[in-house]
Chain A
Amino acid sequence: MDRRRTPGLSSLTTSRLQTHHYTAHGTALRTRNAETLQTQLSVFQSLLHNFALTHSKDIRANPEFRAEFARMCSALNIDFLASSYHRDSRDAGGKDAGSIWTQLLGGSVNDFYFNLGVLIVEECRATRAENGGLISLADLRTRIQKGRSGILGASLSVSDDDIKRAVHSLAPLGSCFSIMNIGHRSLIRSVPKELNTDQSTVLEAIQLLGYITVSMLQVNLAWERPRAHAVVEDLMADSLVWVDCQAGENEYWSPAFISGGGGGGV
């Protein structure tokens, strides 16, 4: 009974039947595959859940551990800050949760960064008159650790990494907070102003000695005097440098050196 060879009308029906069977089988396979993946994903999630729960205290308290955890998450392609903004892609499974992390850690890790973000905004605003809205990461960190430790619980220790993440988490607000690198220092900019090349060059040069003079700019950068003068005046108008008139030639100091440059201990 070899049906395949059967000529005639019935062979048409058979081939349709066959296609149907193949399709059905394919669908079944695909479903099973998806189910397996789903199970794997949920197993993974619950493991991650357990891990995060057992270590949530560490995640909150220990900056190094938090950084490692964050690194692991990003290696797994999970952005645990952004996850609250992309809830659709994340929770394709249909659960009605916000971010995984709000689910897992009761929002504490997310909240940690948002709280830190608020502190950063506060500190930047408080020091804006002094430094023109440009504060070095290290400076900001010591300010936050020293000044406001009461707010997030007594033992608030933050790492530079935390601050960077927190600043990034401020991005969806459309505010102008961003991190910029001048020389080998990271600065947090809280004013919407863009610096032009000359200005960043001067700020970079200031990192070396803590100050700059017009003639230093002329000699080292081969700038014309008016050009050097104009840049410095601009920076001064934005409160990005302070002038010291008692040194013969006017010296222009970066306020970032108020806390770090004197060398003297607190």
Chain B
Amino acid sequence: MTSISSLPASSAPSTTTTTTTTAQDTYIFSPIYSFPPFFTLQPNPITRSSQLQSWSAHIQSYCRAHRLFSISLIDALPTPLFTNATLSRALSLRDAKAVVHWMSTKDGGNRAEWTGRKGDVEAAETEGGRAWIYWRRPEEWAQVIEDWVDRTGQRGTVLTLYEVTESDATRREEFWGMEGELLQRCLGVCVKKGKAQIFGGEGSEGVKFF
């Protein structure tokens, strides 16, 4: 008989936290997170696709709660995102790559994207580099930012990118703390739709919504 010690039995799964922010303390993992086989990619293709979906949902909700816009696989592996210390189970780098890769495909709803320019993307993918996690896709972000501009009556004003993502005015907005590169991309969507214009040079850009 195998020992029962590794069983999750009665231990609450949400106790796996490293206390840095309040979000981490209160974050409730989905029930599947305390299911040991969740951390082994299933060989059966049907089960696997269901599992990938669960992983995608898990990663998105974790990143949303922790305001993570991108993750570096190597750095994220030991965090509660991929490691359940209570169960002593962790997703391997190879499997994590497979999950993120699946998220970046059409099947996965394009919910992730490896960062970097064209040439670097493959490198990032093979080495387990950084990837954007789109708990909101850039188009959706564009809409959120536009709504905020609307709500605060700032159409026609020039805003610096710093104001949008780092000032106190947006501290309560979901896009607060967004990385510059992603913000550029989201604003790019607005520009394409003819709803905004970006001014200024590298490092001191401003944006104006019409």
Question: Footprint of B on A, CB under 8 Å?
Answer: 129-130, 132, 209-211, 213, 215-216, 219-220, 236-237, 239, 242-249, 251, 253, 255, 257-259, 261-266
Q: How many inter-chain residue pairs (CB < 8 Å) link A and B?
A: 98
Top 6 nearest A-B pairs (CB, nearest first) are A262-B34, A242-B37, A129-B50, A244-B37, A264-B13, A264-B12
B35 interfacial contact with A, CB 8 Å: yes
Q: Which residues from 13 to 30 on chain B have a C-beta closer than 8 Å to any C-beta of chain A? A: 13-14, 28-29
Residues of B45-91 whose CB lies within 8 A of A: 46-47, 49-51, 54, 88-90
Minimum C-beta distance from A17 to chain B (A): 83
B4 interface neighbour in A129, A209, A243, Cβ under 8 Å: A209
A210–B13 alpha-carbon span in the complex (Å)? 16
Option from B7, B14, B40 in Cβ contact (under 8 Å) with A264: B14
A239-B44, A244-B89, A265-B12 provided; 11 other pairs, C-beta below 8 A? A213-B2, A216-B1, A236-B43, A239-B46, A251-B2, A251-B36, A253-B35, A262-B31, A263-B12, A263-B13, A263-B34
Chain B residues positioned under 8 Å from A258 (CB to CB): 31-32, 35, 38
A130-B50, A242-B47, A264-B14 known; A253 vs B37 contact (CB < 8 Å): yes
* CB of B35 to closest CB in A, whole Å: 5
Is B152 interfacial (CB 8 A cutoff)? no
Known contacts A129-B49, A243-B42; A211/B36 CB under 8 A? yes
Q: Are A130 and B47 in contact, CB atoms less than 8 angstroms apart? A: yes
Q: How far is the CB of A200 from chain B (nearest CB, A)?
A: 19
